[in-house]
Amino acid sequence: MTAIRGQFSIWALLALVVAVALPAQAGEVRVKAGPGHFSVPVTSVKEGRFQTVIKQQYDYSCGSAAIASLLTFHYEQPVGEKEVFLEMYEAGDKEEIRRAGFSLLDMKNYLKRHGVRADGFKLTLDKFAKASVPAITLIETNGYRHFVVLKGIEGDEILVGDPALGVKIYPRAEFETIWKGIIFVIRDRVKVAQSHFNEQRDWRVRQKAPFGTALTRYSLGMFTLMQPGGNEF
């Protein structure tokens, strides 16, 4: 029995190696384990970064994706980027939106139409950290202005949900060189938002290999133990 389990453990280890090496899409790796097979759900590194961020679909739609991400993952109000985009686009200055993207006013008006109060503030990162509430902010890289979600702060690191890149961790000194100092905050449901600030699942993106996302809550050990032996059915 020990030999059988050892054999399955080897196959399980190989499955994990394959899962970590996969660069493309989420799915399943089907592994032959002795007389049978089992499948291991996997998530690529790239897709792992978008588990709590909604990816923008257009070059100028970071604003609608940021709003959708904030509501869905931090306020427990699921909404798609397409839905937000269409409503904001129809209600806004279409030519200006195509030229420069959505503005904070477009976002505020969208939320207001849905009964949500929100405002922009000029804050330091220290004051923002004390509030412990996720927010939308504006960064600028290479002359390109871009809305992202501030998801957390720990020490000298800033946790960002970027609609173009997914979850990303910046050293504070680097972030302050691209940050515009404006925070767009929802005033309602503060306790709900605070419960989704600095979430550890987001900080795990610093890991080099997606061990946390390559498996479900069942460990590989569970897979190996549940496989039938040569004389079992």
Catalytic residues: 62
What's the half-sphere exposure (Cβ side, CA atoms, 13 Å) at 25? 2
Give the whole-angstrom CA distance, residue 148 versus residue 53.
Answer: 10
Q: Which amino acid belongs to residue 142?
A: N
Instruction: Please name the residues in contact with 77: beta carbons below 8 A apart, sequence gap of 6 or more.
Output: 71
Pure H helices in the chain: 2-21, 45-48, 62-74, 81-91, 94-100, 104-113, 125-131, 172-178, 190-194, 200-203, 211-214, 220-226
Instruction: Please name the residues in contact with 15: beta carbons below 8 A apart, sequence gap of 6 or more.
Output: 29, 31, 38, 40, 220, 223
Greatest alpha-carbon pair distance for the chain in Å reads 70
Residue with token string 């910046």: 170
Residue with token string 């050892």: 6
